[in-house]
Amino acid sequence: MASRFAPYPGPQSRVAAALSVAGYFRFPFPDMYRGKFIGSTIQKGGGGRSLFTKNLHRQFVAVARKFRCVMVVPALVARLPDAEIADGHILRQLHLGLEYYAAGRLGEAIDAYQHGLAAAAKEAPGLVPIETVAKLHANLGNACMVRGDLEFAAENYKAALRLSPHLTACWCNLGNVRLKTGKPAEAIALYAQALTLNPAHWPSRTNLVHALMATRQHLLARALLAELIGERPQDAQLHHQLGKLLFELNELQAALECFRKAAVLNPGDADAIYWIGGICQQLGETEAAEAAYARAAQLQPLIRRPAAKFPADFRILALYAPFAGNLPTGYLFKDADYDTDTLALFDSSEYGAEFLKQDVQVVVNLISDADQADLVLPLAADLAARLGKPVVNDPLKIGRTTRDAVADLLQAIPGCRIAKVARRKAGSGLAAATLLAAFPPSSTILARPVGTHGGDDFEKTESVAELEALLAQRPDCDHYLIEYIDYRSTDGYFRKYRFIFVDGEILPYHLAIGDGWKVHHDSTDMADHPWMQREEEAFLGDPTTVFNPSHYRVMREIQQRIGLDYFGIDCGLDVCGNLVVFEANASMLVHEQNQDFPYKAPFVLRIKSAFDAMLRKFAAGGR
């Protein structure tokens, strides 16, 4: 099939050849004409911004205008044969549907298409052209997709393709449905089929980029983007997308250049400028980051993300702080049924509540790291209070989740152990021996800079000299000194469990197993040990096989004391069966990129569903 791409030299032929070798360029559903589709085995993957509404809406409007010219005049109907009368009535329903769709009246468009299909079903075979019925199904699918009814959209696209398998846009839109429902491998096969019909079909090619990225086929996605940019070098969105891909590949400088190019081509692209700020911040270019954030906020104070359906069920206002730790929302906000307005907060700025709260039902505070955001959290709390809307994760409560504050907060819970934590301020001059006096004798001490997470700059010290040497490496920052609690299991392995608390629910997220005390799921070798995977899957399926009712009483008490609507804890069990809490905060990552651990998918989805349900409840005025 690669020869079909002959008009496109260079990278195009390499992309097509690679997809062909991978088996994507084939008719993806061989049993379609027997009334069903059979797809390949799907691996979990991410979504991506579909170009459906931008690229195809204009085509539908054009089709609607075309039908104005061919409408059957009612006065002539009596003189037409039965076939033309039937076809004329059905065409009118198609015409009405297109008109309603172009006007954004999706419910009426859907009704018109369904009336047309019902009328066609009553006619004798052959009276209504197959193409007309196929168009009704295809356009019904379009309206359902925009409205967010993806399952019904898919059924209609498949029905249209059974009748007219040459409909390139239908293959593309069915691919969009698969992409939006987390099935990017199927989406790739469908886009490939569209491109065998029309190698120049732009929406299929651009959406294929998203599907390739979702399946982490970054090199193919990169080659395809290079090809597309070669054809349309002035397309800012393509440079924007390449910037995101390069960021995924950790090619930060190259990603930065792409976003700068996108911003030059489209000076109003505030999103690209926010990306510039974020990358500059990550590269340590603080002044450039501040300038980019300020420019982006001036262009677009609110970053608006429409819902995956129309109309949206409600609207949220998300507050985040660019120079502080924030709750990761890439997965939680993905394919949402609600519109999202995101506001970047700076401690030097003022914000008017009246403008921000228009049409907003819920405020979601994403600022999650109390150490990094000590200056901006009071601003967020003041703004949230003035907005007068239900708030997820009250900023004032976030302010009480520093590591030392949580250690104090969770003291004296029966069956719970939490390490003693002391904060050593930079420049305080306190000697390590003085600091150690606050801990039990012979304690092993963990040390890490304040405001850090994960395993970086997090070390265990066994002596005063080791601690002094570690503190001397970063003399300009505060440090947490943390009492080490041995949580090794009887088999010699360390097990760290993560639970996510969502509006009263306690949901398992993962189990990390390692042979060292510093265990992080993404740095373990669990992918190479089936027994570890089976143990994690069993835990996720039924946490009560590990955590008994007394442990759940401890976790419910922790939930009450922390007081947040959404947060997570990392914990373990000591040899006596006590629950050992390592940390509790709202910064914990929940993501869907678990290709090596596909059994995690339903449990990760459960957390997202609970998050969505919480927002829906808050939007309705509940708490």
Task: Please give the pLDDT value at position 371.
Answer: 93
- The helix (run of H) or strand (run of E) holding residue 501 is strand 494-502
**506 φ, ψ (degrees, to nearest 5):** -115, 110
> Where is the domain boundary, 395, 429, 452?
395
Alpha-carbon distance values, 482 to 361, 475, 487, 547 (Å): 41, 18, 14, 25
Residues in contact with 447: Cβ distance below 8 Å, sequence separation at least 6, in sequence order:
458, 459, 461, 467, 470, 471, 479, 480, 481, 482
> What's the domain count of the chain?
4
pLDDT in tens, 194-220: 999 999 999 999 999 999 998 989 999
Please measure the distance between the N-terminal and C-terminal CA atoms of the chain and give it in whole angstroms: 56
310 and 362 share one domain: yes
CATH number at residue 38: 1.25.40.10
* Nearest partner of 407 among 393, 395, 417, judged by Cα: 417
Evaluate whether residue 213 is within a structural domain.
no
> Where is the domain boundary, 360, 395, 430?
395
Evaluate whether residue 223 is within a structural domain.
no
Confidence of residue 437 (pLDDT cuts 50, 70, 90): confident
- Antiparallel, parallel or unpaired: β 391-392 and 362-365: parallel
Say yes or no to pLDDT of 617 above 90. yes
Confidence of residue 597 (pLDDT cuts 50, 70, 90): very high
Task: Please give the pLDDT value at position 622.
Answer: 61
DSSP state, residue 125: T
CATH number at residue 381: 3.40.50
Q: Which two tokens stand for residue 319?
A: 């507050």
The total number of residues written for the chain in this structure: 623
CATH number at residue 602: 3.30.470.20
Evaluate whether residue 406 is within a structural domain.
no
Confidence of residue 60 (pLDDT cuts 50, 70, 90): very low
55 and 120 share one domain: yes
Mark out the alpha helices in 388-462 (DSSP H runs): 395-398, 403-409, 432-436
Partner residues linked to 573 by β-bridges: 579
186 and 318 share one domain: no
534 and 582 share one domain: yes
DSSP-derived secondary structure for 333-352: TTT-SSEEEEEE--TT----
* Nearest partner of 594 among 605, 610, 578, 583, judged by Cα: 605
Full domain range(s) for residue 348: 302-395
Task: Please give the pLDDT value at position 16.
Answer: 53
Amino acid at 364: V
DSSP state, residue 410: T
The answer to whether the CB of 250 falls within 8 A of the CB of 238 is: no
Name the burial class of residue 614, with classes exposed (0-12), middle (13-18) and buried (19+) by CB atoms within 10 angstroms of its CB: buried
503 and 468 share one domain: no
pLDDT in tens, 491-506: 999 999 999 999 999 9
467 and 520 share one domain: no
321 and 174 share one domain: no
Q: Which two tokens stand for residue 502?
A: 């969502």
What is d(CA 303, CA 343) in angstroms, rounded to the nearest whole number? 7
Evaluate whether residue 522 is within a structural domain.
yes
pLDDT in tens, 286-338: 899 989 998 998 888 888 888 887 788 999 999 999 888 899 998 999 989 99
514 and 609 share one domain: yes
Q: Which two tokens stand for residue 11?
A: 């990278």
Alpha-carbon distance values, 441 to 145, 219, 242, 447, 580 (Å): 65, 55, 55, 17, 20
464 and 523 share one domain: no
User: Ranked by mean pLDDT, which of 38-42, 406-410, 516-520 comes out on top?
Assistant: 406-410
CATH number at residue 443: 3.30.1490.20
Evaluate whether residue 269 is within a structural domain.
no
Evaluate whether residue 268 is within a structural domain.
no
Alpha-carbon distance values, 28 to 24, 38, 190, 457 (Å): 8, 8, 7, 49
The stretch 154-161 carries a mean pLDDT of 97
460 and 524 share one domain: no
Evaluate whether residue 241 is within a structural domain.
no
DSSP state, residue 124: P
461 and 584 share one domain: no
Q: What percent of the chain has pLDDT over 70?
A: 86
The answer to whether the CB of 91 falls within 8 A of the CB of 72 is: yes
> Where is the domain boundary, 361, 379, 395?
395
What is d(CA 118, CA 139) in angstroms, rounded to the nearest whole number? 15
8 and 140 share one domain: yes
The answer to whether the CB of 206 falls within 8 A of the CB of 228 is: yes
Confidence of residue 126 (pLDDT cuts 50, 70, 90): confident
Q: Which two tokens stand for residue 359?
A: 């049409």
Evaluate whether residue 282 is within a structural domain.
no
* Nearest partner of 279 among 256, 295, 258, 299, judged by Cα: 256
How many other CB atoms are there within 10 angstroms of residue 605's CB atom? 14
Average per-residue pLDDT for the chain: 85
